[in-house]
Amino acid sequence: MQIPTTQTVALVRELGGKVEFKTDYPVPVPGKREVLAKILYTGVCQSDLHTKSGTAASANGTPITQIKLPHVGGHEGVGRIVALGPDCGLGIKVGQLVGIRFGSRVCRRCEFCLAGTEQYCLNSTNHLHHEDGSFQEYIALDADYLTQLPDDVNPAEIGPVLCAGLTAYKVSIISLFLHGLTNFQAVLNTQIKPGNWLVVVGAGGGLGHLAVQYAKAHGAQVIGVDAGASKREFVLRMGATEFIDFTTTDPVARVHEITGLGAHAVVVTAGSAGAFAHACEMLRVGGTLSCVGIPAGRPALQTPICTIVIKGLRITGNLVGSLKECMEAVELVRRGIVKPEIKVRNFQELPAVYEEMEKGDISGRIVLKIAQE
């Protein structure tokens, strides 16, 4: 196929700036051990919004400002390989479906890479801060850290699984042996078991609705927390046993009313400080709080240390996942066990999508159609 030399991208020239569509942005030329992919679809994540707005928080709570400018976001992309650079190796060919994830390159040598937790690689780069992401028509990808997708997945729905789905999968399930799939086990952070009560705060969002489904697939009884009648209908349709509207009902009191002793686990997917403040109070003795959403600034849990100690609570953080865990999450979607709720919009609607995200008006995940097959 004929590969153009320029393309359309969505960029911001400075953090906090407006999204601009530039039609003469260079198409990258794949270097050694790189592939060039044509992007078909991409999800839009809260992290994209926070990064372009300049409010994304670092590990110490200060804003992340060391970001490549102009900034081209997007890290839930799906595309097809259209060209190979030199020395790409066996098993990679033109026409393959590939994913564009948060992590772009890892060193493969540090302690975390060697342990199979390369998302914490000390020398990594990613598609939000260091390299152009999936809000463009073409992208160069590291052939040695390539997310090779099955040919029979729906490219429109698989993008959100590469970030939101992967994170939800990690925090919701301890082990799955489904439909004859052998050796399919992930030791994941909530330690939830079939029949246990699991609360998802932000259950109607792009990440939350997937957490509901992954937990339900493992046999958990899920309580969804979100706001409004439309979110109630949506979350219950996704498989939640109960729904709590936090605008009209005290979630802590209602969770204890439903469960008796409290939930076995609480997963907070919402990126607001209020969602985290009293989450531990929903837990029973020995329960687990799994922190996923990242609020701006340095908000803190409002749980006394004595409560954590005396009740034996466990608090964990979750930063996406490894490539292996990503492919496990993809497999559950491929088999139809989990189904992302997506709405496909045109690429040029990205600014409007950001506005809707800021208002909290979106159920499930918005996916942008970037290019034709």
CATH number listed for the domain at residues 6-160+321-369: 3.90.180.10
Q: Give Cα 314 distance to the centre of its chain.
A: 22
- pLDDT in the model for residue 111: 97
What is the model's pTM?
0.88
Tell me the range of 86-90, 94-98, 356-360 where mean pLDDT is highest. Answer: 94-98
pLDDT, tens digit, 9 for 90 and up, residues 178-225: 323 322 222 245 567 789 999 999 999 988 999 999 888 888 899 999
Closest by CA to 248, choosing from 260, 237, 232, 271, is 232
CA dihedral 224→324→178→232, nearest 10 degrees, is 10
pLDDT, tens digit, 9 for 90 and up, residues 111-147: 999 999 999 999 999 999 999 999 999 999 999 999 9
- pLDDT in the model for residue 226: 95
Residue 74 confidence class, pLDDT cut points 50, 70, 90 = very high
In the chain, the percentage of residues whose pLDDT exceeds 90 is: 71
Q: Where in the chain is the domain with CATH 3.90.180.10?
A: 6-160+321-369
Residue with tokens 């992340």: 64
Q: Which amino acid is at 294?
A: I
Q: Where in the chain is the domain with CATH 3.40.50.720?
A: 167-317
Distance set, CA 148 to CA 76, 95, 142, 210 (Å): 14, 11, 11, 21
In the chain, how long is the greatest CA-to-CA distance? 66
What's the mean pLDDT in 21-46? Answer: 97
- pLDDT in the model for residue 172: 61
161 has a pLDDT exceeding 70: yes
Q: Does domain 167-317 have CATH number 3.40.50.720?
A: yes
Residue 295 confidence class, pLDDT cut points 50, 70, 90 = confident
